[in-house]
Each structure stands twice: as C-alpha cells, then as structure tokens.
Structure 1
Amino acid sequence: MKKNLNKDAYAIVTGASKGLGYAYCEELLKLQYNIIAVARNTNSLKELQKKYSNFKIETWDLDLSDLKNAYKLFEKSKKLDIEIVINNAGYGVWGYFYQTDLEKEMNMIDLNIKSLHIITKKFTQYFMEKNKGRVINIASMGSFTPGPVFSSYYASKAYVLSFGVAINTELKKLKSNVRVVTICPGALKTDFWNRSSSEQRAKLRNKSKSMSSSVYAKNSLKKALKVKKKNYIIFGTFNKLAKKLTKVIPEHIILNSVYKYQRKIK
C-alpha cells in the first residue's frame, strides 16, 4: 500500500480503543499518518504512542453517543490537516425486540446513526473545500438484510450503507476527488460482542474462527484507500458469496437463517 508523503496529514479513527478501531490506527501509522484516536476511554492507546513515537498520536476521550461530542470532534480537528476519517464507533443491542432495553437502543442509534451522520456531513463539506479527502464508514454484512434477534443493530447498519452509497454516488457525479466509502465486515474477533450481547454469547463468538481485527483492518483499509468507483467494500470469499445469495434466495429463507443464527446463544 502506498505510504503517505504528507508529514502533516492526520487520520481520525473513532471507536479507536479496541478491536477494529485500534487495528485501523496501527495500519494508518504504518502508512505514516498522524492519528487522532477517539474513544470513550483511550488509555489502551498508550502502547501505540510508545511503539510509534515518531508520529503524532492524539487521544481524545469523547463519548460520541452524546451528539455534542460529534460536533466537538469536528471543531477540534478542522484546524489540522485531516485527510481520512474512519467512522468505526458503534455497538449493537442483541435479543428479542420486545425484551431489549429501549434506552440502550436509543443510545445505539445516537452512536451508530446520528453521530456518524454528523461527522460524515461535517468532514464531507470540509473535504469538498479542498477537493481531497476520504470518509470511511464501517457498516456490516448485516446491512444487506433485516436481522431478527438483532433487529435494531442490523437496521442501523442498513442506514450506514444506504447513506454512504448515496453520498458517494453524488461525489462521483460531481467529478469530485472526495470519497465516502463504506466497509461491510462480517463476524470478527473484537470487543464488539462484549458490549452488544450476553457474556456467554461474547465468549462463543470470540472463540470462533472469525477473522482477526488486525488482518481485516489491513486488507479492508488497503481497498478503501485506493478504490475510486466502488461505493462499498466486502472482503472475504464467504462474505461475498453471502451477499450474492441475498439477491437470489427468497427473503423468508434468509430471515429464517438469520433468526436461527442469532438465537443460537441466549
């Protein structure tokens, strides 16, 4: 992957303290970007600061489910030379809809949708002024189908995908160099399940044969930074096949399959 030559350039990563966000931070540092790492608690990023001491690594403790902090993030960072923004922060609320906690779901919607929307809006406008820059939004393979027993999360990621595809189409029609690219991961070994479901389910998912965050970050970032025409990225043979099957298999079969998959561990 081509390394950044602008020593003043920064990349912003939200949800940066663990899992995929942490891995994206490290991959961007390898590409010689300075980093603004955003999370509710950024203590875990001290190791990156030690390992990559020749780069500027700013750690901002911001809870982006509080929408004021989404605006604050933009205002604090716009004075710097921002070239990349990765909207990775997010979580899910797993369980039957009639049983799940409404307050948690509203908080999830604020983080997964509203905060991402604000940050994408502000930085797309900022990048359009320079005719340069890239917003990378993290959706999910769940973006392509409703998700029984994980309904609100799948729906939130469907928003992220539809939103990003529409914006990126506009940018291409306008002949802009700016891009809003959406990445759709499948199951990964991350901290996501510790916040999004039961302890038992989290243990099972993190022991599975899912791809590691570091491998996924390296491969997906490589594609997301160079793609010009594609609106979204799916990485992995299984995930690509699953996406194709959603177009040819009747919806009720897909919904039954998702339902069985999601309810395996209660």
Structure 2
Amino acid sequence: MSNQKYTLITGATSGIGLELTKLFAQDKYNLVLVARGQDELEKMATDLKSQYGVEVTTIAKDLFKRESPFEVYQEVKDKGIAINVLVNDAGQGQYGAFTETDVNRELDIIQLNVGAYVVLTKCFLKEMVARNEGKILNVSSIGGEMPGPLQSVYHATKAFVTSFSEAVNNEIKDTQVSITLLEPGVTNTDFFHKASQEEAKGVKEGSKADPAEVAKDGFEGLMAGKDKVISGFKNKAMVAASQVVPDSMVAENMHKMMEPTNKNEE
C-alpha cells in the first residue's frame, strides 16, 4: 500500500523550498510541488521519485497572478489529494528607495508574499480543521519583526505573514492542526539576485545562512508543533534586540546595513 501522506510546497524548485522538499521526501511524504517552471518541476519530480520512491505531482503556476492559488487548490481537489502539510515558501522582494521602485512589481510581490499565503492557507486549513489533522509552515523572515528601509514592501509583507500566522494559530489552538512560522535571516539563495539586492552591504559583506540548515530548523519545528522558529543564533539575537530598541533606531540600523556597498564611491 502506498504512503498517502502529502505535502504541498510552493517555491519548491530553489532555496529553502528546495531543501524542504528533500526533507519531506526523505520522511516519505508524497509531494505536490508548485513553481512557475514546468521543465524544472518535471526534472525535480523525476529525481525525487527515483531517489526517495515517493509520488510527486507538479503544478506549474505563476503565483503573481491573483487567480493562481485558487487554481492550485482546485487542481489538488480534482486529483483527489488530501494535503497533510502545506508549506507556503514562495516569496520575492524588491530593493531600492520606495520613491524609485516599480509599484507594479511591488503589487506582484504583495500578491505572491501575502495573497497566495492567505488563499492557500484558507483553502487547505478548512480541510485540515474538518479532519482535525494537519500542519502548515509559513515561511516569513526576521524582516517581518522590524522595519526595512530599501526593502520596505518586502518587510511589510513578512510582517503580515508573521501577524497573520500567529493570529490564525490562536484561532485553531483547540484542534490537532498547527501553524508554524519560520523566520530566517539573510540566506544563501537566489532571492537577492531576483530582488536586485546583491550589492547591499548586509548581503555582500555579511554571512549568509545555508538554506539546508534553515530548512532543517523549519522542518523540525513544524514536526514538533512549534509556533515560531527563528533560524540561527545571530538572527534570534537581532530580533530580541529589535524588540527593546525604538523602531526608529532599528530602521536606521537596517538602512545602514542595506545601503549599496559602492555608495561612497559614486
């Protein structure tokens, strides 16, 4: 009899999402992988089936589009798959002063980082609560705990994810369903390339976490039913400090960290 546990992961083809995919496959969860690139998804599916012997379903969707998360849910329903674990991981940012950045890209980012999380969480959480079984991992960021000059919209979306997850988790506290919030710091993924943020001081000169380690922290916290996992000691200390220092000072420190390294050379 084949294993019937299923995990759905968005942003599954790179970074933390990719590492989480491997961990669930190792734990013998069948997978529903969501990302934009069909070819990339198909290659991953072939590799995962071969290496771990799990079932892999792929759904190529652009979650920048408002209708896409609804379509993902409907495709899963049509296939008769019950999702035991939902991982909302797909997310992007945009680097630069708010007065100069592209508002249409920012609206796309809000849809991806907020809209898709809300839709997928609502759709699958209803089923989980009805069964009284299930887990959700919402990937946020330590940026959700503090203001982020030069990445203002990204930080704001992650503040939403953090607040939203904590609130809904309280609503379901009397069930056997749990929501775990994963908050990484600067991690060695292609996020910064996509955000045009590679020249920011904190990215170029600072240390970056290994996405495999971040994924492991999130996976273990999820399985233990933890409410929140801040990955990495340095990030825990940074969040703790931000909660006692005035927000204006936190914003100023973040601004200095995120200034371009070549600013003084121009």
TM over 0.5: yes
How many angstroms apart in 2 are the aligned matches of 1:22 and 1:42? 15
Identity %: 28
Q: CA deviation at 1:231?
A: 2.4
> Secondary structure, in 3 states, of the residue corresponding to 1:81?
coil
Match of 1:49 among 33, 46, 50: 46
2:155 paired residue number? 154
Question: Number of matched residues?
Answer: 257
1:252 CA drift (Å): 2.2
Shift of 1:44: 3.1
- Deviation of 1:265 (Å): 3.7
Is 1:210 aligned to 2:219, yes or no?
no
Instruction: Write the letter of the residue equivalent to 2:124.
Output: F
Question: Which segment is superposed worse, 77-86 or 123-132?
Answer: 77-86
Q: Which stretches in structure 2 are left out of the alignment for 5+ residues? A: none
Q: Matched residue of 2:85: which SS? A: strand
CA distance in 2, matches of 1:105, 1:127: 32
SS in 2 for 1:108: helix
Paired position in structure 2 for 1:224: 222
Deviation at 1:206, TM superposition (A): 7.1
SS of 2:84's equivalent in the other structure is: strand
Which AA in structure 2 matches 1:190?
A: T
Deviation (angstroms), 1:133? 0.6
2:180 equivalent in structure 1: 181
Task: Tell me the equivalent position of 1:144.
Answer: 145
Measured in 1, the distance between the counterparts of 2:3 and 2:166 equals: 31
Normalised to the residue count of structure 2, the TM-score between the two structures is: 0.90
Distance in 2 (alpha carbons) for counterparts of 1:114 and 1:122: 12
Tell me if the contact between 1:189 and 1:205 (Cα under 8 Å) persists in the aligned partners: no
Maintained 8 Å contact 1:11/1:82: yes
**Who is 2:239 aligned against?**
243
Contact preservation (8 Å) 1:65, 1:111:
yes
Deviations 1:224-257 (A, max 9, x none): 2212xx4221121111111111122222221110
Counterpart CA distance in 2 for 1:51 and 1:40 is: 18
Match of 1:133 in 2: 134
The CA deviation string for residues 183-234 of structure 1, in whole angstroms up to 9 with x for no partner, is 11111000111111245459x837853111112112221112212xx42211
Indicate the SS of the match to 2:242: helix
- Paired residues of 1:169 and 1:231 also in contact (CA < 8 A): no
Unaligned runs of 5+ in 1: none
CA shift digits 1:39-58 (9 cap, x unpaired):
01143341452254211112
Match of 2:230 in 1: 234
* 1:71 and 2:70 are equivalent in the alignment: yes
Map 1:12-51; keep pairs closer than 5 Å. Answer: 12-45=8-41, 46-47=43-44, 49-51=46-48
Superposition misfits of 4+ residues, deviation over 4 angstroms? 198-202
1:190/1:206 contact within 8 Å kept: no
Q: Tell which deviates more after alignment, 74-83 or 151-160.
A: 74-83
Q: Give the corresponding residue for 1:114.
A: 115
- 1: distance between equivalents of 2:142 and 2:59? 29
| Matched AA of 1:129 | A
Instruction: Give the partner amino acid of 2:67.
Output: K
- Cα root mean square deviation, aligned: 2.0
1:256 aligned to 2:252?
Answer: yes
Partner residue, 2:98: 97
